[in-house]
């Protein structure tokens, strides 16, 4: 390789360097988002991209809250299910009374006493697969992951405006529906 480079070679090196991802925050309004076709070419287009990222951040929090509410509804429905005791099997009442986690107690209400058995929930109880629940859960999880990856890719552009838009959308989404989202779900 010769030390003499003509201007054409220098231009090619400069072009390839510009297409690399920035490793420091920058504030260019022409930063591509997701593809070369989505490159704002005016302040209005950049503002539109920022608004899109705000809405995407809000949608992310809405999806998380929606999933938490759905999980709560599904659990409530499961707890209200009635079970049929098969002949020859131990009835649920007998299982509860002999359960090592069950404790006999007296319940008093308005002067009336009743003997009851209080059973602690088993921690290793797995909920059964249900056609009415699990496909919907899988779709919700896929949407949540997809939106979170899109937000991550926007932040990885290292564009300050995009970064602040993602944070702003997350803030606004949490402000709107954060009370419905529980990190345990």
For residue 66, which of 129, 130, 151, 141 has the smallest C-alpha distance? 141
Maximum pairwise Cα distance, the chain: 102
The residue extents of the domains of the chain are 24-79+154-185
Residues 67, 75: Cα–Cα separation, whole Å: 12
pTM to 2 decimal places: 0.67
Helix orientation angle between 160-177 and 134-156, rounded to the nearest 10 degrees: 150
Strand partners, 109: 112
The tens-digit pLDDT sequence of the chain (185 residues) is 445 555 555 444 444 445 555 589 999 999 999 999 999 999 999 999 999 999 999 999 999 999 999 998 988 888 776 655 556 666 666 665 565 556 677 777 787 877 776 666 555 567 788 898 999 999 999 999 999 999 999 999 999 999 999 999 999 999 999 888 765 54
CA of residue 14 relative to chain centroid, distance: 40
Q: How far is CA 119 from CA 43, 99, 116, in A?
A: 63, 8, 10
Angle between helices 43-79 and 160-177 (to 10 degrees): 30
């Amino acid at each position: 390789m010769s030390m003499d480079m003509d201007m054409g070679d220098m231009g090619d090196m400069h072009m390839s360097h510009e297409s690399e991802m920035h490793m420091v925050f920058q504030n260019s309004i022409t930063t591509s988002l997701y593809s070369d076709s989505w490159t704002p070419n005016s302040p209005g287009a950049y503002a539109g991209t920022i608004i899109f990222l705000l809405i995407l951040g809000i949608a992310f929090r809405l999806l998380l809250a929606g999933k938490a509410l759905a999980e709560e509804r599904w659990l409530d429905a499961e707890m209200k299910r009635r079970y049929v005791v098969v002949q020859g099997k131990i009835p649920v009442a007998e299982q509860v009374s002999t359960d090592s986690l069950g404790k006999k107690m007296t319940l008093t209400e308005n002067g009336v006493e009743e003997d009851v058995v209080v059973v602690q929930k088993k921690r290793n109880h797995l909920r059964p697969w249900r056609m009415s629940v699990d496909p919907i859960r899988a779709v919700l999880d896929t949407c949540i992951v997809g939106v979170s990856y899109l937000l991550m890719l926007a932040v990885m552009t290292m564009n300050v405006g995009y970064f602040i838009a993602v944070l702003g959308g997350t803030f606004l989404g949490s402000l709107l529906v954060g009370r419905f989202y529980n990190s345990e779900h």
